């Protein structure tokens, strides 16, 4: 889905100097670009963004699909910040911008005279967003790699097939969540600037973003003193809410309330389970999860997953197959969600935000590395 030719985006007129690389920062600036901002991607001479070499896979034009996934709607320039000329070029780009996004090691830009304190004196309307791995205090020297934060931040401790088998999530989810937090912070700071005329410093870090993104699992520790662990595909607070086995393979049941559970057990041919003292309420079902899962698996084995999905969906029981990524994209297309957009001939995953007046735009393909 694209906006009409010439239709301004929600952030039309906002200029973003993007000095970030890899994932969290580029994801945030792509979101801003999709919404109409002009994004100038500043890259190192010769090397460029690290993700340019992260492959395979590579697209037909030779670009890394990793790079393509987070860099549409940007123009690329090179700037060697190790030289005085490069720093002067950087200062000129920033001076013409509303927003600066960076993810250098904390303190790097300060030493170049391009930190927030210096820039705010010269350009009080500038919004600066700094992204780090573990903050700017005691964690400033720790490297901000998604896998490292998944491990140190607790995500792997609740992810895996069974206890003792900590597993990373199959995508750099912490970077994505941090990029979204950066986007929200930038938009809030722009709103404040529009009211007061003053920019401010937005700071986000991977560890804090992960802890926020752990939601109920983190709240279990903070609110109840209970440290969660690995439950495989089960849920710590809801049952039945897991992967189950049918005659031809696995499917998911996501039963969120007592009414859905009653509908489920009727379809399973065991309506009496709704009144069983072990399963009458959700807390009771959680307490007797293993017994319940064994009963459900035994009942599901008599039919294939497609038939179960039709029958259970018809009575309002949330369920579905375990799709691969290609099947998930096909599903979104079948549902009319337009999951793929065209950015100057490059297929990209659509921006998920739908705006009725200023929809996301796909003006520019992910840029080739600018000539040095």
Range of the domain at 275: 241-324
C-alpha neighbours within 13 Å on the C-beta side of residue 118: 12
| One pLDDT digit (tens) per residue for the chain, 372 residues | 444 456 789 999 999 999 999 999 999 999 999 999 999 999 999 999 999 999 999 999 999 999 999 999 999 999 999 999 999 999 999 999 999 999 999 999 999 999 999 999 999 999 999 999 999 999 999 999 999 999 999 999 999 999 999 999 999 999 999 999 999 999 999 999 999 999 999 999 999 999 999 999 999 999 999 999 999 999 999 999 999 999 999 999 999 999 999 999 999 999 999 999 999 999 999 999 999 999 999 999 999 999 999 999 999 999 999 999 999 999 999 999 999 999 999 999 999 999 999 999 999 999 998 655
Annotation says 304 is catalytic: no
Residues 203 and 248 reside in one and the same domain: no
Question: Given this model, what pLDDT does residue 371 score?
Answer: 56
Q: What are phi and psi of 40, to 5 degrees?
A: -105, 110
Residue 264 inside a domain? The answer is yes
Residues 19 and 157 reside in one and the same domain: yes
Question: Given this model, what pLDDT does residue 7 score?
Answer: 79
Residues 196 and 258 reside in one and the same domain: no
**Do residues 19 and 77 touch, judged by C-beta distance below 8 A?**
no
Residue 5 inside a domain? The answer is no
**Do residues 37 and 16 touch, judged by C-beta distance below 8 A?**
yes
Residue 1 inside a domain? The answer is no
Residue 332 inside a domain? The answer is no
Residues 203 and 279 reside in one and the same domain: no
Question: Given this model, what pLDDT does residue 4 score?
Answer: 43
Residues 169 and 315 reside in one and the same domain: no
Helix axes of 206-213 and 215-224: crossing angle, nearest 10 degrees: 80
Structural domains counted in the chain: 2
Residues 248 and 209 reside in one and the same domain: no
- Dihedral (CA of 197, 198, 204, 209) sign: negative
DSSP symbols for 246-309: ETTEEEEEE--SHHHHHHHHHHTT-GGGGG-TTTSSHHHHHHTHHHHHHHHHHHHTTS-HHHHH
- Extended strands (E) in 53-173: 74-78, 99-102, 127-132
Question: Given this model, what pLDDT does residue 189 score?
Answer: 98
Residue 236 inside a domain? The answer is no
- CA–CA gap between residue 349 and residue 2 (Å, rounded): 12
- Report residue 88 CA to chain centroid gap: 34
Residues 298 and 192 reside in one and the same domain: no
Claim: this prediction has a pTM higher than 0.85: yes
Residues 204 and 248 reside in one and the same domain: no
3-state secondary structure string, 307-336? HHHHHHHHCCCCEECCCCHHHHHHHHHHCC
| CATH code for the domain in which residue 149 is found | 3.40.50.10540
Residues 210 and 247 reside in one and the same domain: no
Catalytic residue among 18, 34, 175, 342: 175
Residues 127 and 266 reside in one and the same domain: no
Q: What are phi and psi of 42, to 5 degrees?
A: -100, 120
| CATH code for the domain in which residue 304 is found | 3.30.1540.10
Residues 78 and 154 reside in one and the same domain: yes
Residues 128 and 160 reside in one and the same domain: yes
């Amino acid at each position: 889905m694209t906006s009409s030719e010439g239709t301004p985006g929600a952030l039309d007129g906002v200029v973003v100097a993007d000095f970030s690389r890899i994932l969290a920062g580029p994801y945030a600036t792509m979101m801003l670009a999709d919404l109409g901002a002009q994004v100038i991607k500043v890259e190192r001479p010769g090397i460029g963004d690290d993700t340019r070499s992260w492959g395979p896979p590579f697209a037909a034009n030779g670009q890394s699909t990793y790079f393509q996934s987070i860099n549409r709607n940007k123009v690329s320039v090179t700037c060697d910040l190790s030289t005085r000329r490069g720093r002067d070029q950087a200062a000129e780009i920033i001076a013409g911008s509303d927003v600066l996004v960076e993810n250098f090691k904390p303190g790097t830009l300060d030493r170049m005279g391009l930190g927030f304190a210096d820039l705010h004196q010269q350009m009080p309307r500038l919004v600066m967003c700094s992204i780090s791995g573990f903050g700017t205090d005691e964690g400033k020297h720790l490297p901000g790699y998604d896998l490292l934060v998944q491990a140190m931040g607790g995500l792997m401790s609740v992810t895996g097939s069974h206890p003792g088998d900590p597993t990373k999530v199959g995508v750099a989810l912490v970077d994505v969540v941090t990029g979204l937090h950066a986007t929200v912070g930038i938009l809030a700071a722009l709103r404040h600037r529009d009211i007061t005329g003053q920019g401010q410093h937005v700071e986000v870090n991977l560890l804090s973003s992960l802890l926020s993104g752990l939601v109920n699992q983190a709240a279990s520790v903070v609110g109840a003193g209970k440290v969660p662990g690995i439950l495989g595909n089960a849920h710590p607070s809801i049952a039945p809410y897991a992967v189950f086995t049918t005659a031809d393979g696995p499917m998911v049941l996501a039963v969120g309330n007592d009414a859905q559970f009653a509908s489920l057990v009727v379809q399973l041919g065991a309506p009496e389970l709704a009144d069983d003292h072990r399963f009458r309420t959700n807390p009771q079902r959680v307490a007797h999860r293993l017994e319940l899962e064994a009963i459900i698996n035994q009942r599901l084995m008599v039919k294939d997953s497609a038939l179960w999905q039709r029958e259970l969906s018809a009575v309002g029981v949330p369920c579905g197959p375990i799709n691969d990524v290609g099947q998930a994209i096909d599903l979104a297309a079948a549902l009319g969600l337009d999951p793929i957009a065209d950015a100057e001939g490059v297929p990209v995953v659509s921006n998920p935000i739908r705006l009725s007046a200023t929809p996301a735009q796909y003006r520019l393909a992910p840029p080739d590395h600018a000539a040095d």
